[in-house]
Amino acid sequence: DVKVTQSSRYLVKRTGEKVFLECVQDMDHENMFWYRQDPGLGLRLIYFSYDVKMKEKGDIPEGYSVSREKKERFSLILESASTNQTSMYLCASSIGQGFIQYFGAGTRLSVL
C-alpha cells in the first residue's frame, strides 16, 4: 500500500511565524504535490515537484515555498504565516507520468 505521511494532523501557529509542513511518501514516487482545501473551493494546487530539488508553482503559490532535498520528502514552508493561510493542507504523490495521486491525511493549520 502506498503511504503518504504528513507529520502533523493539527497545528496552531501565530501570525508571522515560520511554519514547516512535512510530507513523506514510501513508494519511490517521482511527483509530489501540496494542495490546500477550503470549504466550497475544492483542492487548489500550491506547488509541485517532479524530481529532487525541482519545484514548480501551482495555482496559488503566493506566500508559500517548498523544499525537496530527498525523493521521499516534500516540505511546504510558510515564511510568515497569515490568518488567511488557515486551511487544510494536503500532500500527495504520484508515479512518473501517472495521473493517480495518493494523498496524506492532511494537516489542519490554524493561524491566530
Partner 1 sequence: GESVGLHLPTLSVQEGDNSIINCAYSNSASDYFIWYKQESGKGPQFIIDIRSNMDKRQGQRVTVLLNKTVKHLSLQIAATQPGDSAVYFCAEVSGGSYIPTFGRGTSLIVHP
Which residues are at the interface with partner 1 (CB under 8 A)?
4, 31, 33, 39-43, 45, 48, 90, 92, 94, 97-106
Which residue's CB is nearer to partner 1, number 42 or number 69? 42
Candidates 93, 89, 94; CA nearest to 105 is 89
Our measurement of the distance from residue 46's CA atom to the centroid of its chain's CA atoms, rounded to an integer in Å, reads 7
Residue 79 in 3-state DSSP?
Answer: coil
Instruction: Between 33 and 78, name the residue whose CB sits nearer to partner 1.
Output: 33
Least distance from partner 1 to the Cβ atom of residue 14, Å: 25
